Amino acid sequence: MPDQSSCTHIRFFREAAPYIQAHKGKTFVIALSSSLLDSDSFTQIISDIAILSTLGVKLILVHGTRNQLEQAIQQQKLSSKFHKSLRITTPQILEISKNIVGRVRVDIENKLSYALNTPPIINTGLSIISGNFITAKPIGVHDGIDYQYTGQVRKITQVQIQQQLDHHNIVLLSPLGLSPTGKAYNLHYEEVATQVANILSADKLIFLRNTPDKLPRELTLQEAKQHQAIKPMIQRIESALNAGVSRVHLINANDDGGILLELYTRDGSGTLISTKQYEEISQAHISDISGILELIRPLEEKGILIKRSREQLELEINNFIVIKRDQKVIACAALYPIANSNVSELACLVVDDNYRGQKKGDTLLNFAEKLAKTHGSKKLLVLTTQTTDWFQERGFKLGDVEDLPGAKKTLYNYQRNSLILFKEL
Transcribe 41-96 into DSSP letters.
Answer: THHHHHHHHHHHHHTT-EEEEEE--HHHHHHHHHHTT----EETTEE-B-HHHHHH
Whether residue 411 contacts residue 347, with contact meaning beta carbons closer than 8 Å, is answered with no
Measured over all CA atoms, what is the biggest interatomic distance in the chain, rounded to whole angstroms?
A: 90
Domains and CATH numbers, the chain: 4-277 (3.40.1160.10), 280-424 (3.40.630.30)
Whether residue 299 contacts residue 262, with contact meaning beta carbons closer than 8 Å, is answered with no
pLDDT digits (tens, 9 = 90+) for 216-238: 888 988 889 999 889 989 999 99
* Rounded CA separation 264/23 (Å): 9
**Beta-carbon neighbour count of residue 144 at 10 Å?**
6
* Rounded CA separation 311/313 (Å): 5
Peptide bond into 120 cis (omega under 30): yes
In one-letter notation, the amino acid at residue 232 is P
* Rounded CA separation 59/168 (Å): 9
SS3 320: strand
Q: What is the pLDDT of residue 109?
A: 94
Q: Please, which pLDDT band fits residue 1 given cuts at 50, 70 and 90?
A: very low
In one-letter notation, the amino acid at residue 366 is N
pLDDT digits (tens, 9 = 90+) for 22-39: 999 999 999 999 999 988
Whether residue 270 contacts residue 262, with contact meaning beta carbons closer than 8 Å, is answered with yes
Helix (H) or strand (E) holding 95, with range, is helix 91-116
Mean pLDDT for the stretch of residues 92-107:
95
Q: What is the pLDDT of residue 5?
A: 60
Render 257-295 in DSSP notation, one character per residue: THHHHHHHSSS-SSEEEESS-SEEEEE--GGGHHHHHHH
Determine what percent of the chain falls in helix, strand and coil, rounding each to the nearest 5.
40, 25, 35
pLDDT digits (tens, 9 = 90+) for 315-369: 999 999 999 988 889 999 999 999 889 999 999 999 998 888 888 999 999 999 9
pLDDT digits (tens, 9 = 90+) for 263-318: 998 888 899 998 877 788 999 999 999 999 999 999 999 989 989 999 999 999 99
pLDDT digits (tens, 9 = 90+) for 358-398: 889 999 999 999 999 999 999 999 999 999 999 999 999 99
85 secondary structure, DSSP code: T
Of residues 183 and 132, the one with the higher pLDDT is 183
Mean pLDDT for the stretch of residues 143-156:
95
pLDDT digits (tens, 9 = 90+) for 40-56: 899 999 999 999 999 99
Nearest alpha-carbon partner for 331 in 373, 362, 371: 362
Whether residue 48 contacts residue 264, with contact meaning beta carbons closer than 8 Å, is answered with no
Phi, psi at residue 204, to the nearest 5°? -145, 145
* Rounded CA separation 48/384 (Å): 48
Sign of the dihedral defined by the CA atoms of residues 244, 250, 253, 255, in that order: negative
* Rounded CA separation 194/223 (Å): 20
Whether residue 423 contacts residue 366, with contact meaning beta carbons closer than 8 Å, is answered with no
Angle at which helices 91-116 and 42-54 pack, to 10 degrees? 60
SS3 133: coil
**Beta-carbon neighbour count of residue 255 at 10 Å?**
14
Q: What is the pLDDT of residue 410?
A: 87
Q: Starting at the edge strand that comes first in sequence, how are the strands of the sheet with 170-173 ordered?
A: 128-130, 170-173, 58-63, 27-32, 204-209, 247-252, 271-274, 218-220
In one-letter notation, the amino acid at residue 66 is R
Whether residue 355 contacts residue 330, with contact meaning beta carbons closer than 8 Å, is answered with yes
